[in-house]
Amino acid sequence: MHHAMFDIETLKEIRQKADEMSYLCMNRKLYHDPQSLKLALDNVSRALGMFAEMEIQRIKHENISYDPQKYIKGRVSLAHKTVKLTPQDDSNTA
Protein backbone atom coordinates (compact mmCIF):
# COMPACT_ATOMS: atom_id res chain seq x y z
CA MET A 1 0.00 0.00 0.00
CA HIS A 2 1.37 3.39 -1.00
CA HIS A 3 0.68 6.48 1.00
CA ALA A 4 0.23 9.82 -0.68
CA MET A 5 3.48 11.72 -1.17
CA PHE A 6 1.70 15.08 -1.24
CA ASP A 7 -1.27 16.47 0.57
CA ILE A 8 -3.98 18.06 -1.56
CA GLU A 9 -3.50 21.57 -0.18
CA THR A 10 0.21 21.56 -1.04
CA LEU A 11 -0.55 20.35 -4.56
CA LYS A 12 -3.10 23.14 -4.99
CA GLU A 13 -0.54 25.69 -3.74
CA ILE A 14 2.12 24.41 -6.15
CA ARG A 15 -0.36 24.51 -9.03
CA GLN A 16 -1.42 28.07 -8.15
CA LYS A 17 2.19 29.26 -8.01
CA ALA A 18 3.01 27.53 -11.30
CA ASP A 19 -0.01 29.14 -12.97
CA GLU A 20 0.93 32.57 -11.62
CA MET A 21 4.57 32.19 -12.73
CA SER A 22 3.40 31.25 -16.21
CA TYR A 23 1.09 34.25 -16.35
CA LEU A 24 3.79 36.63 -15.11
CA CYS A 25 6.34 35.29 -17.59
CA MET A 26 3.95 35.63 -20.51
CA ASN A 27 2.53 39.05 -19.60
CA ARG A 28 5.56 40.98 -18.35
CA LYS A 29 8.80 42.00 -19.96
CA LEU A 30 11.17 40.05 -17.76
CA TYR A 31 14.21 40.21 -20.02
CA HIS A 32 15.70 43.10 -18.04
CA ASP A 33 17.00 40.68 -15.40
CA PRO A 34 18.22 37.49 -17.11
CA GLN A 35 19.99 36.29 -13.94
CA SER A 36 16.68 36.20 -12.05
CA LEU A 37 15.06 34.30 -14.89
CA LYS A 38 17.92 31.78 -14.90
CA LEU A 39 17.51 31.31 -11.15
CA ALA A 40 13.75 30.78 -11.49
CA LEU A 41 14.23 28.30 -14.35
CA ASP A 42 16.87 26.42 -12.34
CA ASN A 43 14.49 26.07 -9.38
CA VAL A 44 11.59 24.93 -11.56
CA SER A 45 13.86 22.44 -13.34
CA ARG A 46 15.09 21.00 -10.04
CA ALA A 47 11.51 20.63 -8.78
CA LEU A 48 10.51 18.88 -12.00
CA GLY A 49 13.53 16.58 -11.75
CA MET A 50 12.60 15.65 -8.19
CA PHE A 51 9.02 14.96 -9.25
CA ALA A 52 10.27 12.67 -12.04
CA GLU A 53 12.64 10.86 -9.66
CA MET A 54 9.83 10.42 -7.14
CA GLU A 55 7.53 8.97 -9.80
CA ILE A 56 10.25 6.59 -11.08
CA GLN A 57 10.75 5.28 -7.56
CA ARG A 58 7.00 5.02 -7.01
CA ILE A 59 6.50 3.06 -10.26
CA LYS A 60 9.36 0.74 -9.35
CA HIS A 61 7.79 0.26 -5.89
CA GLU A 62 10.98 1.54 -4.26
CA ASN A 63 11.07 3.30 -0.91
CA ILE A 64 11.53 7.05 -0.99
CA SER A 65 13.69 7.95 1.97
CA TYR A 66 13.36 11.72 1.70
CA ASP A 67 10.58 14.32 1.63
CA PRO A 68 9.91 15.24 -2.02
CA GLN A 69 6.96 17.45 -1.06
CA LYS A 70 9.14 19.74 1.05
CA TYR A 71 11.85 19.92 -1.64
CA ILE A 72 9.47 20.57 -4.55
CA LYS A 73 7.38 23.08 -2.60
CA GLY A 74 10.54 24.94 -1.59
CA ARG A 75 11.94 25.09 -5.13
CA VAL A 76 8.63 26.24 -6.62
CA SER A 77 8.31 28.89 -3.91
CA LEU A 78 11.81 30.21 -4.66
CA ALA A 79 11.09 30.36 -8.39
CA HIS A 80 7.75 32.09 -7.76
CA LYS A 81 9.36 34.68 -5.50
CA THR A 82 12.10 35.35 -8.05
CA VAL A 83 9.62 35.90 -10.89
CA LYS A 84 7.34 38.10 -8.78
CA LEU A 85 10.24 40.28 -7.63
CA THR A 86 11.96 40.61 -11.02
CA PRO A 87 11.90 44.25 -12.15
CA GLN A 88 9.54 44.80 -15.02
CA ASP A 89 8.76 47.22 -17.79
CA ASP A 90 4.97 47.53 -17.90
CA SER A 91 4.90 50.21 -20.58
CA ASN A 92 3.43 47.80 -23.15
CA THR A 93 0.98 45.88 -20.98
CA ALA A 94 -2.77 46.30 -21.08
Hey, what amino acid is at 71? Y
Distance of alpha carbon 18 from alpha carbon 65, whole angstroms: 26
CB 43 within 8 A of CB 79: yes
Say if 26 falls within a structural domain.
Answer: no
User: Is 11 inside any structural domain?
Assistant: no
Calculate ∠ Cα 31-40-64, nearest 5°: 160
Does 7 reside within a domain? no
pLDDT tens-digit profile, the chain (94 residues): 455 678 899 999 999 999 998 888 877 766 677 888 889 999 999 999 999 999 999 899 998 888 899 999 999 999 999 988 877 655 544 4
Give the domain extent around 73: 47-80
- Asked if residue 20 is part of any domain, the answer here is no
Q: Whose CA is closest to 1, among 61, 68, 82, 76?
A: 61
